[in-house]
Structure 1
Amino acid sequence: MPTRRLAVLALGGAVLFAGLPALTGAASASAVSVAAVGAPNADLPAGRHIGTQLVTLTAEPGATIRYTLDGTEPTASSALYVGPVEVSASATLTAVAFAGAAQSAPLSRGYVIKTAEEPLAQFAVMSDIHLSSDAPDLVAKWQTYFDALQRIAPHPDAIISNGDQINDNNHDTAADHRFPRAMLEQNLARTGMSDTRVLMSFGNHDDLVDRMAGQYPRDWFPHTGAGYYETELGGFPAFVVNTEAWNATQASWLYGRLSAISADPATQGSPVFVFGHRPLPGTVWDGAQSSNPGLKSNLSDFPQVVFFSGHSHLNITDERSIHQDAFTSVNDGSMSYEETDTMYQSFGAGLAKEYTIPSAQSVLVEVYADRVEIDRINYAADEGRTYDDQGRWGFQKNPPFASTGTIAGPTWVIGRGATPAAVKERFIYTAANRNTIAPAWGEAAQPTVRTTATGLVLNLPQAADDQYVKSYAVTLKNLATGSTAEFLSAGDRINAQYTQSPRPAVLRIPLALRAGGKVGGAIDPTLTLGAEYEATVVAYDSYANASAPRVFRFTAGVLDRTGFDAAVAAAEPLVSRVERVLGDVTPPERDDFGFAVSDAATARDLIVALRVQFGILAPVDARAATTQDEVDAATAEIDRLDGLLQAQLVAVDRSVLAATIESTRKGVASAVGDDRAAARRLRTADEAARALSTRLNVPQPSIDAAAAELAAAAAAYASVGPGGGTVVVPGADTAGDGLAATGATVPVIAMSAGAALLALGGVLLARRRRSLS
């Protein structure tokens, strides 16, 4: 809260006030409401752009903007926006508007930055559509997905749907293929991509090969009877394999064709794209959910092969989704939901072990003369869970999503070479090059444990990493018993929500478990309220690089009242002053005469409301807060009410009145006993001025009117004579901080009433000008 300064001067026995700075916290027409701050705007639309871009951000008047380009949620310590943001590489620009204690929802714009060089080929690879319905929410979702793709690649050569077009598990729902077919046809036409080829591979959820093939145009799935075929993409060799029925016939066909391409001088330097639904052992994510070691062996003689797979739903934010050894393997994500390693995730008031996440991702591939670029795109990466707190499946509702079209990670670049051996020499996504830089806490704020309506919650400001933090280990020790709490074991991990866009700056982790670690299980709290705990937190990246431990202590269930007490301590003096100025509390202090209250009834109502908030932590109060959210809400409300009450208390300047009383003292004395009208007027004006000078809560116009009447009465009395003394008209000069000087002395008999009023009016005008400057 601001310091309030009062300038005081004793002059002729009167207390004078002047030069009081305007009180802060009052409502202002240009201020942004702390209750609702609008998100910033960006003048550059999301999508593909050529060359470095400058992005102009705007926000509501009075708000400041902070931004990031690394996928994280901006905080009050992020880069301050002072001019156009330079975006020189593919990135997600995230911006947040701040106004006082409030901040807006984030703005996220994904920018795919390319050079002016035109790609030789361009195609999108997506998989695991799992579309067996045309429900309105699914239709709307896919429309937003294609809108995002169209902004990035308006006219791709092809879209490859790499298996699992539908949800079939029993080979009896081939008719469901009508839903992905209709979705693709409608959206390609709607976005102007009708000339884009569609190619499909067969997945384990696609019924049977022949049944699937009968549902699509022949050129979408041009297999020869066994679910595999050869094609080309922008003139580059491409193969679609059937990973559900890998056999010697298919192996011989593929190996023979790859051998011929490698031996032909015209094609041996060309990348060869192979698409199969299932990943291969020991490749992406170390082959999680993999199969077909024979296919891997088949491809291992051809470094120029880039093999795309889906099936696992493993997200492509994780850098383990690309792998290079004998050839390049790429996980292309999933367009229905994503997965991660099994970790604890927050489900309402408790943690449960779960691996699914409500994201949709795919890749865009571009071939250039010396390289292949693979961009990773989010289509849905908002905060959320695939299951609700009761364990019911359902997610990705109400598109468009704020994260649609954002960047899931930096562009992967695969070098090309004149020969297969030259290609292999340019491999960089190898085991030998795996990231070894551990996360670090840096200047991250201290973790806190909050008491909420649903239990204890750890607010964990995230550690920093050169790529991203994937998970955290959190162990708790009861300091009274010396035992480790029945919470998470040292080997357990909590998901850092690293696939979310933007990645949250602070994780909110419930310190309770779901029974059995299962979604929908009963809450099984483990911490003893009132007990002191020592928490140890370690951050990990996807390569298991570990940060230094972060250790802190907390008492379970104790409310943090630091901010609340500070707000009360700042507001109480204002409440007391207003009550004294109003005369509700006595005796007054000298400084109270320098203020007036604009609206007494409103001020009294504000004081009542403030006192209610002051007592929110009183144990005997039936309304006493039991959660930190309630304490924080009371703190914010005290600050708000304090600002409104400050606006009711305005400074008044009594210096001119006091000086006028003093300067007319001799004239008033000479008028005693004089029964003329001018003398009676002077005595009446003097009595009124002196009575007003000792009364509290007098508005400035009344003070100025009393001073003007006294000066006019004195001048009028002097003009009819006989009289003595002088009228001291307060001068326009000040004593350095706005206090009135002694003024200019003029013989009373020589000044007319009009001249005296004119002089006083000039002084008042000068004072008003100084107060406004």
Structure 2
Amino acid sequence: EGRKLMQSLSTTAQDINNFSRQVESALGVKTADINSYPKFAVISDVHVGGDNNWNDKITNVIKTLDTDNEPLDALFVVGDITNGGTLAQYQSAKKVFSQMPSSTPIHFCMGNHDWLASSTKSNNYYKNTLGQDQNQYMEIKGYPFILISLDSSNPSNGYYTATRNYLKAALEDADKKYPGKSIFLFIHVPVTNTVYGSRNRGNTSMNDIIKKYPQVVMFSGHSHYSINDERSILQDKYTMVHDGGIAYTRTATDDMDKIKPALSGNFAEGCVVSVGNTGDVIVKRMDFFRNEEIKQPWVIKAPNDGSNFVYTKARNGGEKPTFKATDKPSVKALKSTAFNVTFPQATDDDMVHHYEVTLTDLKGKKIKSSIEFAGIHLNSDKPKFLTTEMSTYAYKGYKVKIVAVDSYGEKSLPIESDLFITPTGYLTVDNLYLTGTVLSGGWTLSKAQKLNPVADRPGVFEWEGPLKVGQFKFILQNTSSKPALSATATRTIKSGTSYDVIITDGSSSKYKFKIAKKTNYKGMVDVNNWTVTVTESSKLRSASSSIEEENNYKSASIELSDNTENYFSIIPRIEGVEVNLKTDITINSAELIDLSGKIIANVRSKDTSFTLGKNIVPGIYIVKINCPDKVYTQKIIVNNK
């Protein structure tokens, strides 16, 4: 009898547990819940023979599962066991999975990659090396388990009639034999438009069979998407669970610009599933790369007949993602017209899935956009900041707008960068020049006319004076050396009309402008909206205006103040006009203007004393002092005495 008893103890965990239950039943001992109901792990897409670290990843999965205090009844590997379906890869798969304790059986099914060697060879390699049937139906601790393999390397249409018939028969049998219990189904390719990752990577050929059985809990892989996303479980006609993947992750090709996100190989996800004593199915999501649990477990409530479905299509994203009030994208120039955009991650009541990154011109018009994945697959290693590279046309002003989007499409309010100009990155335009044949110096850069910044209007520059018939364009100077100049297409200026303008540092740019009439002009360049306006200025007097006319002087519409002397001491000297503040008043800037309206000198100063100009030519001038709430002007005469 003792020999018979020893012979009845097989090496499988299932036989040991069955024998234990028989003994405990005979003794009147109640079997602990932990040993009475199935507990198993589900992984997929290990791709043996693919990336170099596949062996280490699978080894780590096995070690993590083996250290669990509650032993597993089985491990299910749901397709794409190998990367190319070769004999060597199947042999490597057998070897690496042999590290799993013999008390935990491993059950495989085939995915599309497992057929790549050829339809005949791959099937033989699978059966002869792993020793398992292509489709399997078994019982574990009183619950039915069904594995269905693909029949070809075509994931969208790879289940043939024989396999469909096998699934029909297995489900019919399980429905009769196991009333009131969940039926666990493992199939590599998900049903199209169901779980996360199935929209473009699904299959519709099995759904008509499965949907008749609401008690089915189907596990699938194939997409490599992270199970951090709550859309990875769906209860519709039955329950569908995406199991993650081991080799690498992908992003949603219908939403993302990149198939693989950054650090896509730092990824290995799967599920540990247990059945409770009430029939509830608890799905614990695991990050095997970091040996940590992902979020809270999913609980598939009993009775699993459709009446308790909670993970339905009616779910939504809850609260919208939010940024902090101080959050702002930053821009760093790279080379040519390329630049990096860096921004902080937003927060959400669940998680942010991705970001919409939009490049706009200064009028808010979209130039281009991209989608940046939030890095949900990195779990506890998810970065606090993301960086993406963009490029665009040179020498125009731009802003970048960022919007955070959660898994269900809820969007945050945008955050926006400061103005930047490619390829120089952030830029305060301090030096802006006009050059061309409209000036006596022509295209000679050393003789270019400097534009004057408009007080209290950052980014706005102006000039007044005579222009000849000819062409001109604008350049900026960011270094001590003036840049080279190249002009391209020409546009004729119409007085008072606003034109788009591109400011260049000397490289070829889009526009130069043509003056068709010789006269005095007043021009304004607004860097904030990237426009130029040139208007004929008939009120301007030439530089040869006589001193006798100075009593009628109102150049550039400047009215002379009658109280300037109450606040300022203004002393004209050839070596420079001295300005001293008499009272407590704030100064933004000051200008020295000649009778032609030309600004001879300007300063931006908050000091109580400063000097305007240097080596001033004798004549009559206007001193213009710009304060926050008022502009003061005073006429002065500079002589050589």
With the length of structure 2 as denominator, give the TM-score of the two structures. Answer: 0.54
Residue in 2 aligned with 1:243? Answer: 150
Q: Deviation string for 1:236-280 (max 9, x for gaps)? A: 10011123353444333433332343344xx21111111111111
Deviation at 1:294, TM superposition (A): 3.7
Task: Give yes or no for the alignment of 1:184 onto 2:89.
Answer: no
Q: Deviation string for 1:353-396 (max 9, x for gaps)? A: 3345322211111111231111111233xxxxxxxxxxxxxxxx
Given that 2:359 and 2:366 are in contact with CA atoms closer than 8 Å, whether structure 1 keeps it comes out as yes
Given that 1:444 and 1:461 are in contact with CA atoms closer than 8 Å, whether structure 2 keeps it comes out as no
Q: Deviation string for 1:51-80 (max 9, x for gaps)? A: xxxxxxxxxxxxxxxxxxxxxxxxxxxxxx
Residue in 2 aligned with 1:92? Answer: none
2: CA distance, partners of 1:202 / 1:153: 30
Task: Give yes or no for the alignment of 1:474 onto 2:357.
Answer: yes
Q: Which amino acid aligns with 1:162?
A: V
Residue in 2 aligned with 1:414? Answer: 300
Residue in 2 aligned with 1:506? Answer: 384
Deviation at 1:283, TM superposition (A): 1.8
Q: How many residues align?
A: 385
Deviation at 1:209, TM superposition (A): 7.2
Higher strand share: 2
Residue in 2 aligned with 1:374? Answer: 283
Q: Which amino acid aligns with 1:197?
A: P
Matches within 5 A, 1:247-262: 247-262=160-175
2: CA distance, partners of 1:317 / 1:484: 35
Residue in 2 aligned with 1:445? Answer: 326
2: CA distance, partners of 1:233 / 1:128: 24
Residue in 2 aligned with 1:311? Answer: 222
Deviation at 1:554, TM superposition (A): 3.3
> Larger relative contact order (C-alpha < 8 A, sep ≥ 6)?
1
Deviation at 1:445, TM superposition (A): 3.5
Given that 2:318 and 2:349 are in contact with CA atoms closer than 8 Å, whether structure 1 keeps it comes out as no
Matches within 5 A, 1:205-224: 205-207=113-115, 211-212=121-122, 215=125, 222-223=132-133
Q: Which amino acid aligns with 1:354?
A: I
Given that 1:243 and 1:292 are in contact with CA atoms closer than 8 Å, whether structure 2 keeps it comes out as no
1: CA distance, partners of 2:82 / 2:197: 27
Residue in 1 aligned with 2:87? Answer: 174
Task: Give yes or no for the alignment of 1:279 onto 2:190.
Answer: yes
2: CA distance, partners of 1:228 / 1:295: 14
2: CA distance, partners of 1:180 / 1:473: 40
Q: Give SS of 2:250's match.
A: strand
1: CA distance, partners of 2:96 / 2:74: 16
2: CA distance, partners of 1:329 / 1:318: 14
Matches within 5 A, 1:122-521: 122-132=39-49, 137-152=53-68, 155-168=71-84, 173-185=86-98, 187-188=99-100, 193-207=101-115, 211-212=121-122, 215=125, 222-223=132-133, 227-244=134-151, 245-264=158-177, 267-285=178-196, 287-290=198-201, 292-342=203-253, 353-355=258-260, 357-358=264-265, 359-370=267-278, 371-380=280-289, 404-417=290-303, 423-441=305-323, 443=324, 445-451=326-332, 456-479=339-362, 482=363, 484=365, 486-488=367-369, 492-502=370-380, 504=382, 506-512=384-390
1: CA distance, partners of 2:128 / 2:140: 17
With the length of structure 1 as denominator, give the TM-score of the two structures. Answer: 0.45
RMSD: 3.4
Q: Deviation string for 1:436-461 (max 9, x for gaps)? A: 432122x3632141436666433312
Given that 2:269 and 2:287 are in contact with CA atoms closer than 8 Å, whether structure 1 keeps it comes out as yes
Given that 1:475 and 1:484 are in contact with CA atoms closer than 8 Å, whether structure 2 keeps it comes out as no
User: Which blocks of at least 5 consecutive residues in structure 1 are unaligned?
Assistant: 1-114, 346-351, 381-403, 513-524, 562-617, 622-773
Deviation at 1:286, TM superposition (A): 7.0
User: Which blocks of at least 5 consecutive residues in structure 2 are unaligned?
Assistant: 1-31, 152-157, 429-477, 482-641
Given that 1:201 and 1:242 are in contact with CA atoms closer than 8 Å, whether structure 2 keeps it comes out as yes
Q: Which amino acid aligns with 1:255?
A: K
1: CA distance, partners of 2:364 / 2:405: 25
2: CA distance, partners of 1:119 / 1:463: 45
Assess, with a 3 A threshold, how the Cα gap between structure 1 residues 483 and 292 changes in structure 2: closer, same or farther.
Answer: closer
Q: Which amino acid aligns with 2:62?
A: F
Q: Give SS of 1:487's match.
A: strand
2: CA distance, partners of 1:246 / 1:217: 18
Higher helix share: 1
Deviation at 1:154, TM superposition (A): 6.0
Assess, with a 3 A threshold, how the Cα gap between structure 1 residues 527 and 499 changes in structure 2: closer, same or farther.
Answer: farther
Given that 1:474 and 1:538 are in contact with CA atoms closer than 8 Å, whether structure 2 keeps it comes out as yes
Q: Give SS of 2:377's match.
A: coil
Identity %: 25
Residue in 1 aligned with 2:15? Answer: none
1: CA distance, partners of 2:254 / 2:163: 38
Deviation at 1:184, TM superposition (A): 0.7
Deviation at 1:129, TM superposition (A): 1.2
Q: Which amino acid aligns with 1:377?
A: M
Q: Give SS of 2:206's match.
A: helix
Assess, with a 3 A threshold, how the Cα gap between structure 1 residues 229 and 434 changes in structure 2: closer, same or farther.
Answer: same
2: CA distance, partners of 1:535 / 1:183: 48
1: CA distance, partners of 2:236 / 2:259: 31
Q: Which amino acid aligns with 2:283?
A: I
Deviation at 1:217, TM superposition (A): 7.9
Given that 1:316 and 1:361 are in contact with CA atoms closer than 8 Å, whether structure 2 keeps it comes out as yes
Assess, with a 3 A threshold, how the Cα gap between structure 1 residues 448 and 292 changes in structure 2: closer, same or farther.
Answer: closer
Given that 1:119 and 1:367 are in contact with CA atoms closer than 8 Å, whether structure 2 keeps it comes out as no
Assess, with a 3 A threshold, how the Cα gap between structure 1 residues 432 and 355 changes in structure 2: closer, same or farther.
Answer: same
Deviation at 1:215, TM superposition (A): 4.8
